[in-house]
Amino acid sequence: MRLDYLTIFPDFFAPLELSLPGKAAASGLLDFAVHDLRDWTHDRHRKVDDTPYGGGAGMVMKPEPWGEAFDQLLAPGATVIFTTPSGEPFDQRLAEELATRERLVFACGRYEGIDQRVIDHAREIAEVREISLGDYVLNGGEVAALAITEAVVRLLPGFMGNAESLVEESHAQGGLLEYPVYTKPPLWRGHEVPAVLRSGDHGKVAAWRHEQAVRRTAERRPDLLAPSVLDDGTPIVRATPGDAGEILTLQRACWVQEAQANDTLDIPALQESFDDVRGWLGEWDTWVVRRAGRLVGAVRGRLEGEHTWDIGRIMVAPDLQGSGLGRVLLEHIQAVAPAGVTSYVLFTGAASARNQRLYKKAGFRLRTDLPAPPHAVVLSKRR
């Protein structure tokens, strides 16, 4: 992965040479480049800001240096990140999504911000994300860029010495906060390590950790325990055998579109009967969404082996496609996976560009090394 930083304070990025990011750069896994925005100015004062149109306090960063910098730095496939308190909130889901990109260019603003035309222009030539660390204001975008960098690059394959350490940390396992952790000695200043952690029973340890993660999340971040409710309050509920007929109808509507996109009728979901759907409802953990009494969305998952969660049949009624329901269903089916799951896998049509964009934005990667059904591709993601 290549990371570029545009800033008027290049020294802010000295920490990139430290610890694991520095080692990753030395090994060739990462490539960092820090650029002084003033190098694209042409006056003796190297001026990068001016007074705002419309009046008001503060200064606004001028468009000319940014435009020239982008002309030189932006290559096909780059994603430009503007760190700004008015951006979308940064979270683990977004970190996972950005970790799939080949090149990130951080545009670090100062003063009252960057001239809006710079952002509009960047959207014409590259993918643009405006990202905020939280509901507060910093002096500039450099600190936010460093925080985003650390959250993203640690997700790259080969970055962490022990990849398992990514599985059970906060926000990674079903969106829960991490359970309490302990080390030696077993007794310290009157505080004892819970007996279950010293029992040697791995099943009981896993159950205790999951229970503690849920309890801690409920106490500190109850908002994270709502994957089963849509933004409008509509619940995502487990399917019942009585839903089979409506699921079959929804399935055929969705996979006719897939057949058109992939120019083939050789799709299992199109060939299934009512009895087939009733059969697999007993084998898969299936969830549905109803609006005004109508079944408009569904998704299923099941355990493959000991640690892989197989995701399938993400379905959204054609008139609701593009509303974000598919993304919510995908997030939900990941969140309800059993505690021992360490990876997700799914497949979609080789020519289903819209589906592939959804999955890649959610952090899934194409897996050409895994066998795929005819006319399909396989994608996977670490939990």
Instruction: Provide block-wise average pLDDT over 10 residues at a time, the chain (383 residues).
Output: 96 85 79 96 95 92 97 93 94 89 96 95 95 93 95 83 48 68 94 94 87 76 60 79 92 85 81 92 91 91 91 92 90 88 91 88 91 88 91
Question: Are the beta carbons of 21 and 145 closer than 8 angstroms?
Answer: no
Measured in whole angstroms, the distance separating CA 108 from the mean position of its chain's CA atoms is 22
CB atoms within 10 A of CB 53: 8
pLDDT for residue 165: 47
Question: Are the beta carbons of 79 and 101 closer than 8 angstroms?
Answer: yes
% residues pLDDT > 70 (the chain): 92
CA atoms of 87 and 94, how far apart (whole Å): 12
pLDDT for residue 158: 75
Helices (H), the chain: 19-27, 63-73, 92-98, 116-125, 142-153, 202-220, 244-262, 268-271, 274-281, 325-335, 353-361
Q: For residue 242, what is the DSSP state?
A: G
pLDDT for residue 160: 59
CATH code of the domain occupying 2-153? 3.40.1280.10
Its CATH architecture, for the domain 236-382, is 3-Layer(aba) Sandwich (3.40)
Helix, strand or coil, per DSSP, at residue 343: strand
Rounded to 5 degrees, φ, ψ at 287 are -125, 145
Q: Which residues are annotated as a binding site?
A: 109, 133-138
Contacts of 103 (CB under 8 A, 6+ apart): 1, 2, 3, 4, 75, 77, 78, 79
Helix, strand or coil, per DSSP, at residue 297: strand
Rounded to 5 degrees, φ, ψ at 307 are -130, 5
CA atoms of 76 and 19, how far apart (whole Å): 30
Q: Is 76 exposed, middle or buried (0-12, 13-18, 19+ CB in 10 A)?
A: exposed
Q: For residue 191, what is the DSSP state?
A: E
Rounded to 5 degrees, φ, ψ at 124 are -75, -20
pLDDT for residue 166: 46
pLDDT for residue 127: 95
Domain ranges of the chain: 2-153, 166-225, 236-382
166-225 CATH, one of 3.30.565.10, 3.50.50.60, 3.30.950.10, 1.10.1270.20? 1.10.1270.20
Q: Which residues are annotated as a binding site for S-adenosyl-L-methionine?
A: 109, 133-138
Rounded to 5 degrees, φ, ψ at 122 are -60, -35
Specify which residues 61 forms β-bridges with.
Answer: 49, 114
pTM: 0.57
pLDDT for residue 306: 84
